[in-house]
Amino acid sequence: MCVYEEDSAMQNIVTEKRAEESHRQDSADLLIFILLLTLTILTIWLFKHRRFRFLHETGLAMIYGLLVGVVLRYGIHVPRDISNVTLNCYVNASPATLLVNVSGKYYEYTLKGEISANAVNNVQDNEMLRKVTFDPEVFFNILLPPIIFHAGYSLKRRHFFRNMGSILAYAFLGTVISCFIIGLLMYGCVMLMKQVGQLDGDFFFTDCLFFGAIVSATDPVTVLAIFNELQVDVDLYALLFGESVLNDAVAVVLSSSIVAYQPEGDNSHTFEVMAMLKSFGIFLGVFSGSFALGVATGVVTFTKLRDFQLLETALFFLMSWSTFLLAEACGFTGVVAVLFCGITQAHYTYNNLSPESQDRTKQLFELLNFLAENFIFSYMGLTLFTFQNHVFNPMFIVGAFLAVFLGRAANIYPLSFLLNLGRRNKIRSNFQHMMMFAGLRGAMTFALSIRDTATYARQMMFSTTLLVVFFTVWICGGGTTQMLSCQRIRYDPPPPVQILLWITMDLKRRSTKQESAWLFRIWYNFDHNYLKPILTHSGPPLTTTLPPCCGPLARFLTSPQAYENECQLKDDDSDFILTDGDINLTYGDVTVSTDASGAHTSGGSAFAGAASDDLDRELTYGDNELVMRGTRLVLPMDDSEPPFTDPHHNLRM
């Protein structure tokens, strides 16, 4: 009895020692990623200080991840623990948990993954590499939500809605076209590999379509960052950003619909019309359900904690994150839900927050987006050397690059041609070439590919996806500035007077067909007059928009803050609604105006004539506002320019 107690005590000591060592190892692994992010941030500061635009922070994070992966793979070796014991147990399937009876004591073991037969004797040597390999669910449940939410929360709705039709065409129809083009080309490549004996496992047509779906998700974060820094054309920025935001959501739902494709019978990889229609129904159901859930959650996030800003910000944050988890728990897609939740909260809930909470939420999600995005790209570089089951096939890799290029081309050029038939502001050929070049793959493609690496086909897709992401981020992202120059796309901010002339020319061309879509006009009026007064404190009071017979109901639904904010109403979307009214550009004593016919006049005080010669320069360096029927469009100026000094100022005084 005493011997048994001594053995038990010794075993407890050994167990505690192992737990302590495991804790230290986990801390060291997390420290590696923290140091990676720290090094990335310091290098980003150096690049911005030197105005170096060839390499974006995401590409830099991938390089640092690669270097650390090389060190972990070939420079650090943990000696094998001699206590490891390999026992054979023949079962039909691998259990998720396993209870092992060791001398009358039961121990629970969890499944970590499959180990190849030639690596059984080196399990402990690979412990360091397995420690830095995260569960794929970490990406979906922790890292992806802030990235997707920030995309919706920071969306510039004015430019987004102005190009809404084109963005939807690229994001929905274009992604489906790209998916099937890539899937068909890769299926031909797989058949060729099978003929020449280069295929070592099963690879079906549904696998090829799945690969087409995941690599159709674009993430031009590098290009968009450079666009924002260089002040590239806002329509080009809106088209690329809007497409990347929505096609991520489409790619997620499309890939899950392909996985759900199940024909009747034993062979689950044959073509069947009913199974295809069922998958299409799943696509529509999941997307529409996720959309409705995200919008509903965004609408009900109606906080009344303005006096407690910390609690208000915390509640807003938790409601936003819970949207993703709620959608996943209900069988929908969290990416779609949290995206439209962000758009809805930016439109409604943001107006209910206190000024302090508005600043806090913007800064909070911007910070989380930055850290999560750079963490994922660092982990991409690390995974190239730490992932244990890579399958690199040269034929498949070459075929994938060719298919991705052709799939992107089939998305951009035919759709742009069709869209230009109905657009007044045409998508020029150099814009199309830039959109073709800017189709980078990034965080979403990586997260979809790493989520399931159990089969030979999925392992080959994951390894190839890594190379596609590396190439597009480094080569396409790094060559953005050169591509802009090559395509002669202007990226200097135009002076305000030039903007006024553009609007004047647009008003001259205006006919009964308005620049804004009639559907959006109807929605804007309904939203501005009825939804915003109910859901926010920023709309006009319902007492002024509802009929007089609805007076009691209007007074009941209108909050006291709505009356206070009536005179301070500022609607971001109203900048976009162009009506047949006057447009005035005012600076000092000089006013330049234009009406719906396109005629423009200028006037001012006695000094207006003397000031008109310097108007262009004054407007270039000053703070100016374009007034459109009571809505102000602030034109951002470059702070680096010197302030204007008027040599005639003393004479005028």
| DSSP character string of 214-276 | HTT-B--HHHHHHHHHHT--HHHHHHHHHHHHHHHHHHHHHHHHHHT---SSS-TTS--HHHH
Q: Domains in the chain: how many in total?
A: 1
Share of the chain above pLDDT 90, in %: 19
Nearest to 315 by CA among 328, 326, 304, 329: 304
Higher confidence at residue 95 or residue 215? 215
Tokens of 376: 């994922």
Residue 492 has pLDDT above 90, yes or no: no
Residue 613 has pLDDT above 60, yes or no: no
Instruction: Identify the bridge partners of residue 626 per DSSP, sorted by sequence position.
Output: 585, 633
Identify whether 569 is part of a domain: no
Identify whether 351 is part of a domain: yes
The region, left, alpha or beta by phi > 0 then psi within -120 to 50, assigned to residue 99 is beta
Identify whether 288 is part of a domain: yes
Locate all alpha helices (DSSP H) within 527-623, ordered by sequence: 532-535, 542-545, 551-557, 560-564, 608-612, 615-621
Identify whether 200 is part of a domain: yes
- Angstrom distance (rounded) from CA 500 to CA 594: 9
Residue 240: partners with Cβ closer than 8 Å, 6 or more residues away: 220, 223, 224, 227, 435, 438
Identify whether 444 is part of a domain: yes
CATH code at 367?
1.20.1530.20
Identify whether 9 is part of a domain: no
Higher confidence at residue 75 or residue 511? 75
Domain range for 348 is: 136-263+272-487
Mean pLDDT, all residues of the chain:
75
Lowest mean pLDDT among 21-30, 164-173, 621-630: 621-630
- Angstrom distance (rounded) from CA 179 to CA 217: 9
Identify whether 556 is part of a domain: no
Identify whether 204 is part of a domain: yes
- Angstrom distance (rounded) from CA 110 to CA 102: 16
Residue 383 has pLDDT above 70, yes or no: yes
Residue 264 has pLDDT above 60, yes or no: no
Exposure of 338 by Cβ count < 10 A (0-12 exposed, 13-18 middle, 19+ buried)? buried
Higher confidence at residue 580 or residue 408? 408
Lowest mean pLDDT among 93-107, 205-219, 455-469, 550-564: 550-564
| Residue tagged 């399937």 (tokens) | 93
**pLDDT given for residue 308 in this prediction:** 83
pTM: 0.76
Nearest to 178 by CA among 207, 222, 148, 209: 209
